Structure 1
């Protein structure tokens, strides 16, 4: 006797289309201010450096020290801040980080001389670095499994806004001298103080969303409660493998991104023979595109398209650097490079690193482990930045081919994370769309 086939039930709703409650977006925005302030601090120091040099009568070594100390302090802050957050409670450190940044930014804004300026940069840089892994861990703790990708990815939008605001103010206030420099950093101090007040009122995750996240396999916690982190908890296979893979991706991708973030205008002028105004205009023109495409990444961050698009975007990103290297930095090749790079970078860059880290790293050591990958990567970026101008002068082709090789390695590391680590992540069984991402 033939058996009647079962009637299929209604299709499970796509988690990527499920609306996220407003209070979770608010938590993501407040956490994303760490990225806004980090990017804003780096860009504002870069934009204002010539003004500081003239206004304070700096020597070349002091100017170099201020530029280097930003990256170094962010690296050290990331290393220490993530560990402190896991040790004393993420929300406690989360609030103190932003307050310390505000104090540092106020000192930078009101500095009467270069020594005080250096002290302010030191405090603000350490606090910005400490807030990066801590804020990502806090928003990940608050997020249910089905929304974590979008909420964490939204912090990258805040990063792009930090760059955009600082760059735009630098352009508008370029003739205002030291007053313009104070206004650029002053907005960072004001934004940090407002964020500090709003973070203090942010409630810890509770209720249905938090329970649902735990049921889905997310090892959520009330991060306000302090707990110790032992070295052996970090050096386990469960933590070490995703930490190593995400580090390899971030450091190799970041060598290219950081080089063009810090030296994009410099390379266009010195290698491509572009004018200063054209070089600045090229960089500014692509910022709105970057913001728009990063918002597009947020929309797909909890769907199979997040990892599907990575494969395409990573290939295009490598192609962009191949074009730049083949033309040895000629202006026509660099224009093609910027178009390809800006179209692909939001789908194969830092936003992926942030999401993958929160998905694959153990919840109880997430602040410490991601702080470690941030710190080591930023340290490598600082060393590379020191040698970049000399290498560009020796051979632009060697510099660009070296970066191309790094980008290719980043693509392979990203594929490993997608194919091996994400499907094994805690709570992956409750996210069936992850299986679709592998096909």
Structure 2
């Protein structure tokens, strides 16, 4: 297969552009690991580690908003080329850091780049995919996300005993992977769907100006916030933010819950987390098989039930090692059938080309902010009343699943992946 043919292959685009998910997950997990390894060399306290982690989260949120908006205005390819270069610079700075200030600057670059890359890259994938495989390919990006988590955990197991040197190695490897991604992304053409929509937008505005007609810019942010698209923005944003509370607690605080609450060990928790990741990949395979068929919502319903069961068990029987194991294994299925993968699909289907990345960036940022706020009180809640914490997560998950079952499916799809349909829609929205 020639380079040109490879560049046009939907799977090639999915893997190369989808490395945004791998690098985003790797940045988050690596920072949590490396800050501990940097503790002695940089005299980091628990408070400073928490502040650095919060800085990374905040910059991912800012990056998602800015990157999504720029991707809709200036093109998918141009923006994710710049963001991946920024990722490399941030990772190199963190690997070579000699002061806490260098760590802070590196985290700003790394977080902003990871956040900005994600919505633009997923938009590129959805716009390059055949209609009958669009959901499947978008869902596959979550497999790459899990891959990023497993890769960093594997590196941590190998270099975790080397102290700060091990931390530098982890960031250096991420920089090397990102450089390879830069080279691979040079094979990708711009999204034809975006290019056609942008050309129609420009021509429609020029025609309106020439005729003296009043017009609105179909690509302006106000067109997203003051149109029918505000409904899916709110609905899908609420679903993602609320459902992510379960995933964030499971990912960010699993070690704490196993060790401090259930009285287990880090080694046991790590083994369970590995098993959870493997089961999660199996669940993602099922999601990919169902998402483009009439059985999509059946899969979602099963995932929703498993998620509620997963967090309801410790809420009822108490928080101990067996109940946490059941939570991890059940949520590995439920969360991947009715969680972030389906959010990614909805975020592509319900918004037009000129707003697709912007809308996803806004929803990602909102979700990160909510997760960061809840994370501030999660350890205290887990220590004071762990069953109450799991009851609250179960209740929140029930709200999210209700939104996914009864609200979002009623919202009309944007359905503008067809350039002709997109052009007609843009022309109609331009003239006031």
TM-score by length of 2: 0.87
Match of 2:80 in 1: 94
Report whether the alignment pairs 1:27 with 2:42. Answer: no
Aligned equivalents of 2:417, 2:17: Cα separation in 1: 24
Distance 1:148 1:21, change over 3 A: farther
Indicate which of 276, 281, 292 corresponds to 1:302. Answer: 292
Distance 2:59 2:385 in 1: 30
Inter-partner Cα distance in structure 1 for 2:158 and 2:10 = 34
Matched, 1:61 2:61: no
C-alpha displacement at 1:299, in angstroms?
2.7
Larger CA deviation: 117-126 vs 237-246: 237-246
Where does the alignment leave 5 or more consecutive residues of structure 1 unmatched? 1-19, 211-219, 430-439
Counterpart of 1:176 (choices 136, 143, 162) is 162
Question: What corresponds to 2:137 in structure 1?
Answer: 151
Q: Distance in 2 between matches of 1:303 and 1:317?
A: 22
Seen in structure 2, the aligned counterparts of structure 1 residues 359 and 110 have a Cα distance that, compared at 3 Å, is same
Q: After the TM superposition, which residues 224-303 of structure 1 pair with which residues of structure 2 at under 5 Å, given as runs?
A: 229-303=219-293
**Which of 101, 104, 109 is 1:118 aligned to?**
104
Secondary structure of the equivalent of 1:201?
coil
1:296-375 paired onto structure 2 within 5 Å? 296-375=286-365
Residue 419 (structure 1) shift: 3.0
**In the alignment, what sits opposite 2:35?**
49
Native 8 Å contact 2:243 2:339 kept in 1: yes
SS in 2 for 1:361: coil
Aligned pair partner of 2:406 in 400, 413, 416? 416
**Does the CA-based 8 Å contact 1:150-1:299 persist in structure 2?**
yes
Cα deviation for residue 224 of structure 1 reads 8.1
8 Å CA contact 1:320, 1:336 repeated in 2? yes
Pick from 43, 62, 77 the counterpart of residue 76 of structure 1: 62
Are 2:198 and 2:354, in contact at CA under 8 Å, matched by a contact in 1?
no
Paired position in structure 2 for 1:426: 415
Aligned residues of 2:197 and 2:354 also touching (Cα < 8 A): no
Q: Residues of 1 paired with 2:261 and 2:77: CA distance?
A: 46
Alignment correspondent of 1:435: none
Runs of 4+ with deviation above 3 angstroms: 220-229
Tell me the CA shift for residue 60 of structure 1: 3.0
What displacement does 1:144 show?
2.8
| TM-score, normalised via structure 1 length | 0.85
CA contact (8 A) 1:77 1:126 kept: yes
- Supply the distance in 1 between the matched residues of 2:196 and 2:18 (Cα, whole angstroms): 20
Structure 2 equivalent of residue 165 of structure 1: 151
CA contact (8 A) 1:358 1:366 kept: yes
Whether contact under 8 Å (2:280, 2:336) holds in the other structure is yes
- Count residues with an aligned counterpart: 397
SS for the counterpart of 1:311 is: helix
CA shift, 1:223, in A, is 7.4
Worse overlay, 146-155 or 410-419: 410-419
Task: Indicate if the aligned counterparts of 1:204 and 1:224 stay in contact, CA closer than 8 A.
Answer: no
Work out whether residues 167 and 284 of structure 1, in 8 Å CA contact, stay in contact via their aligned partners in 2: no
Q: Deviations over 1:238-276 (max 9, x none)?
A: 311111111111011101101111001111111111122
Contact 1:74 1:125 in 2 (8 A): yes
Residues 307, 418 of structure 1: 8 Å contact kept: no
Describe the SS at the equivalent of 2:190.
coil
Q: Is the 8 A contact 1:145 1:427 kept in 2?
A: no
